[in-house]
């Protein structure tokens, strides 16, 4: 899968993170596409923090099909603008600044025998098989990927972070956070009443 603007180093760190930290949260995230749930991955390298948010589109824009009205298109535009201006996480002291960001929506076809994925190949769905998400494929679903690079000066091993994602997007109720960096990796789960975390193992 291609993540816009994600460096090779970031991809390598995320691979390491997914292998090491996934068991911590696997039991809390049985479905890959689950409304109200999203995953945030962090790769830390000194003062640089790379972020990757993976979320069902419903959590961020309220629907999971290509925009059909001007209002729906505006929701997409507003979300993209927010992501281009606002760090998805920051230190409690607000020391991080947003360096770059990108957002990608993976729309899928709601009907039909086949659908095209972002990896450039087409599947036939004339046969039956199971999908690891909460609703039928015929209903259509879409996922949003947001990547950001932050600069966080004087970042220490005991740094405390917080997120404004759930305040901005009320449909998002559970955020699984995984991180990897020079001091190791870790994971936690955030909710609207628990938006802060420390880089502990």
Asked if residue 147 is part of any domain, the answer here is: no
Look at residue 23 in the predicted model and tell me its pLDDT: 43
| Element at 114 (helix H, strand E) | strand 114-116
Asked if residue 34 is part of any domain, the answer here is: yes
Q: pLDDT tens digits for 84-97?
A: 999 999 999 999 99
Beta strand spans in 21-67 (E):
37-45, 48-56
Q: Do the beta carbons of residue 110 and residue 117 sit within 8 Å? A: no
Asked if residue 121 is part of any domain, the answer here is: no
Asked if residue 83 is part of any domain, the answer here is: yes
% of the chain with per-residue pLDDT over 90: 58
Q: pLDDT tens digits for 139-182?
A: 578 999 999 999 999 887 778 999 999 999 999 999 999 999 88
pTM over 0.75: no
Asked if residue 134 is part of any domain, the answer here is: no
- Mean local confidence (pLDDT), 11-27: 46
- Apex CA 76: angle with CA 87 and CA 48, to 5°? 20
Asked if residue 66 is part of any domain, the answer here is: yes
Q: Say how many domains are in the chain.
A: 1
Q: Which residue stretches of 45-125 are H helix?
A: 57-61, 70-85
For residues 125 and 106, the model is more confident at 106
């Amino acid at each position: 899968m291609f993540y816009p603007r994600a460096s090779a180093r970031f991809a390598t760190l995320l691979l390491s993170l997914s292998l090491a930290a996934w068991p911590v949260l696997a039991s809390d995230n049985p479905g890959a596409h689950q409304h109200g749930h999203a995953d945030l991955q962090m790769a830390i390298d000194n003062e640089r923090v790379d972020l990757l948010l993976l979320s069902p589109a419903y959590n961020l824009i309220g629907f999971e099909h290509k925009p059909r009205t001007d209002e729906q298109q505006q929701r997409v535009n507003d979300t993209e603008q927010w992501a281009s201006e606002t760090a998805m996480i920051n230190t409690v002291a607000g020391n991080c600044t947003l360096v770059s960001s990108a957002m990608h929506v993976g729309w899928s076809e709601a009907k039909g025998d086949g659908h095209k994925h972002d990896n450039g190949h087409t599947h036939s769905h004339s046969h039956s098989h199971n999908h690891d998400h909460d609703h039928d494929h015929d209903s259509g679903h879409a996922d949003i990927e947001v990547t950001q690079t932050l600069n966080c000066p004087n970042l220490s091993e005991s740094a405390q972070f917080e997120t404004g994602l759930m305040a901005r997007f009320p449909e998002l109720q559970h955020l699984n956070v995984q991180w990897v960096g020079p001091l190791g990796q870790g994971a936690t789960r955030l909710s609207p009443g628990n938006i802060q975390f420390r880089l502990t193992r």
